[in-house]
Amino acid sequence: MEIFRRLIRVMRAHAPVTTEEPLHGTGEGVDYDTSRPNEYRPSRPEVDPQLASYYANLELPYGAGREQVKAAWKRLLKKYHPDLHAADPEQRRIANELTAELTSAYKHLDSALEKAAV
């Protein structure tokens, strides 16, 4: 049944990302004077929703490096490979879909991270 839990995680990863809440911490202890609009406020990093869903598919935090992306991809492929579910055709079909999603996420993230490094 682990494969079904993974399928639910993949579906959640494709849900829209909202940035209404802080991405890092709660902001507690930071006191801004809202009466002074030009006062410096640290900006939150821009989050690309598509990249965020790829990171979520690979069960990684947003912004992980290429080595982490590759390691997560390999780890998850070993866990959900279709050959491990050969006895049940439905589970094998789902495993095929999951591995396709994992590979797609890996390729997109690897490409994006390679472009960012240049």
Q: Which residue has the higher pLDDT, 100 or 3?
A: 100
What is the rounded CA–CA span in Å between residue 57 and residue 86? 23
Measured from the Cβ of residue 54, the count of other Cβ atoms closer than 10 Å reads: 24
What's the whole-model pTM score? Answer: 0.63
**Residues 20-37 pLDDT 10s:** 444 444 444 444 455 555
* pLDDT value of residue 25: 46
Boundaries of every domain in the chain: 1-10+64-118
CATH of domain 1-10+64-118: 1.10.287
What is the rounded CA–CA span in Å between residue 93 and residue 75? 19
**Residues 47-60 pLDDT 10s:** 889 999 999 999 99
